Structure 1
Amino acid sequence: MHASCSGGPTALEALLTMRGSSNTVLADVTDPVHPRTICTLTGSWTPQLVNQAMVSWSATQGGPGSPGASIIATLDLFTGTSAVATSWTGGSFMDGLHAWSPDHFQLVYVTSDDTAVNVHLLSGAGDRQLMSFGAVLGRGINPGEDDAFVSFSPDGAYFAFEQTFTGGGDHLVVWSRSGVVFSQPSATMATWGSSGSKLYFRQPNASVIYVWDSTGP
């Protein structure tokens, strides 16, 4: 991953693909109707923002039935400094799915091979495997029902992993710093609200939206 920048970081940024272009750009979206390109990124991976100056992405040399080296890497867009945040052996579906806490000091990530799907939390206290799920089953994907989601709540107090692919284990789990606080055997299309820690989701093949609220009913 490489970046070419024409300006410095701003308070409101987003990673976008502009109309008529195949490149991802870091844009100033202070005026969302007229985003201004700050950096142009090149590379075959899918970056996500860590903070206003840094992106991360996952890459693997493995694949289903052929595990290989996997990493999550970071790139400072303005200095060009890159680093490996963590590495493992994997390469199956959902391998490398990850999210950063709002303060950027914690990383939750997914490893996947032919035996299991694992959720890890990397922080100043080290790298902990929080939970293991059954391996991803070989089947097609229904874009209207299937989903894979990992994300911290906007207040950083919780993080959730939701997916519809593993052969065993709950399909929605929410953690706090002290452990699991909520789980569902089946769920899809989860997303956090814009503030606090409310998680919205629905059941597969259903249209009712449910909410988990950390403050209770």
Structure 2
Amino acid sequence: MATPLSEFKLKVLIQKTLFRAFFLGAFLFFLSVFFYAFYADMTRESPGKVAPFIEHLRSKKDIESPPPASLEKPHRTAREMERWVSQTISEVFTLDGNDYTQQVETIRKYFSAAGYKQYKTYLENADMEGVLQKNDLKVRVFVEQTPLLLNNGNVGGVYRWLYEVPATISYVPRTSSSYKPGEEGVNRKLNIRLQVRRYDNPDDPEGLQIESWTVLPRRK
């Protein structure tokens, strides 16, 4: 039979065991909380580490606006390029003696710096300003055929096209209200060879420039 003393010792032993178990459990709990908080802090990505494209996609505008096509690739179809070349040649040969200087300056937008220099050299060699002003003439052009593509491709990271265009330019009276190729004035048959390149300019939706310009006489 157990004595009162042995029962007391047993109770004390049980209490000590329970206390130690409680203390150990509490310690392990707080230790796990500490390590969880530490791990979460270490693995949380700071604002400076957010990937750039995530920042760029946060606005609706950025999501809906695709990036511009690489300059290394064509951004116009063959037919669109032919139309642009024909229309541009028509523009650069629309000159008269009255507003010659202003017209030539306006035409600059179609050229790179080197191409514009070649274009102006051609005009000077042809004495275009003198002929138009002295005789009160204007010049117009008729593109006879679809521009002939001689070469195209990526050169130096920029896509380029080389064309040759048969055309007839006519010097006609400046006050003439209508123009029919070959019917009046002085006509010159030409082969126009031009190299066009892509370029990045938000103010120019076409994104095209003439960087090389050569005009040669043609017999037929």
Do these two structures clear the TM 0.5 threshold for a shared fold by scoring above it?
no
Structure with the largest fraction of helix: 2
Higher relative contact order (CA 8 A, sep 6+): 2
TM-score by length of 2: 0.26
Structure with the largest fraction of strand: 1
Bigger radius of gyration: 2
